[in-house]
Amino acid sequence: MQPNETAPPPPPPPPPPPPPPSSSGTSGPPEMGRAAKARHDTAASEAAAAARERASGGGGGGGGGKPSTGKTAYTSVESAAAAIVKAAPPSLGGALGRQIVYFNRNKLHEVDHHILGEDVHVSKGRQCYGLQDDEDKTEYFDEPSVVDEKCRTLAQWVHASHYMMAYTGAGISTSAGIPDFRGPEGAWTALSEGRKVKKTGKMTDMEPTKAHQVLASLCRQDILKYLVTTNGDGLHLKSGIPPNKLSELHGSLYKFRCRTCNTQLIHMFENGASRPDFCSCGGILWSTGVGFGDNLPQDEWEPAKSHSTHCDLALVLGTSLRVSPACNLVEHSYKNGGHLVIVNLQTTPYDKYAQLVIRARTDEVMAKMEAELAKLVSPPTSSS
């Protein structure tokens, strides 16, 4: 080659070898690498989510978003699924449609609600059940005389309070026949140890406990200003706590939300009524239950946060205060110079901040506190 001559272009690369035949004898696409497969799965997941959102006409996840306008109100689960299939990529449509039909048929016609959903997956370790590896499951009990003295103190603080709030968890409902989660016989504890969870009856047949009833009484007397719960059993509503004085942060058995107009419906299953399927606008009604990783419904969270800023007595009943952000709300009480009272059989991360910790069952404590409070409100008259 002369100095002024240019080099000839390189030959084109050889074509890639044909993919190996599949086990059925037909050719298939080459196997993807891990990175490519991850990108493919992510794209497929995003496409499926977008298709579901377009078809359902929903707002933001977990009740936190604003309702969209101009969405279609579907008259049946099958029509919604058909729209999803049409909107989804061809590779996803058929399988996605079948999954949506199966999901919605179960959700829309599920009346026999149990405390555990069908989305509990078995895997190694305890973290998947909301349990922490260093969590103490031991239940502790104060001596009866100690419980009596603490209940007298609690009654005095309730009587003197200006803005009392209650924060409740699964432990307040165990005497109603609903298992808790973190106790020795709790649902997550059993699952993490490979044991079966004890079955409950119909959730709609469960009745409020003594602790629920005392809280409702305090609310009627305007002593209890607001109640925040992470329970989805709806027993506070059933006990008579009005919706405007109650935040059910993790949803409720008795609350449903329309994915078209965002309207919330309270349905108490009275006289054997079945679960409602559709809103008056024609949209599908969805359960308000909140799972791990879901956004909290803003119309429940915002008032809970706002009322908590005024709290001068926080009464915590039956919760280990380990689920954020709900557990953080109790901090306002002692930061405001008020009292934090924890009634729970297990230790909590907030015990060191509490002015009073009572190791006894919630029904016993609330019954004794109510009796002591009655003496303060209506002291016995002395005989002349």
- CA distances, 194 to each of 115, 127, 273 (Å): 18, 14, 36
**Helix axes 362-377 and 144-160, enclosed angle (nearest 10):** 50
> What is the DSSP pairing of strand 255-258 with strand 264-266?
antiparallel
- Look at the chain and count its residues: 384
Sequential DSSP letters for 67-113: PPSS----SSHHHHHHHHHHHS-HHHHHHHHHHHHHHHHHHHT--S-
**Neighbouring residues of 143: CB distance < 8 A, sequence distance ≥ 6:** none
250 is catalytic: yes
Cβ atoms of 111 and 321 closer than 8 Å? no
**Neighbouring residues of 33: CB distance < 8 A, sequence distance ≥ 6:** none
Q: Where would I find the beta strands (DSSP E) of the chain?
A: 164-168, 224-229, 246-248, 255-258, 264-266, 285-287, 313-317, 339-343, 356-358
- Retrieve residue 184's tokens: 């020795």
d(CA 344, CA 364): 12
Q: Please report, as a single letter, which amino acid is at residue 157.
A: W
Sequential DSSP letters for 113-143: --SS-TT----SSSGGGT--TT---------
- Retrieve residue 30's tokens: 């080459």
Instruction: Choose the catalytic residue: 113, 236, 250, 307.
Output: 250
**Neighbouring residues of 68: CB distance < 8 A, sequence distance ≥ 6:** 57, 58, 59
d(CA 143, CA 220): 32
d(CA 285, CA 50): 19
Cβ atoms of 85 and 94 closer than 8 Å? yes
d(CA 331, CA 311): 9
Positions marked active-site: 250
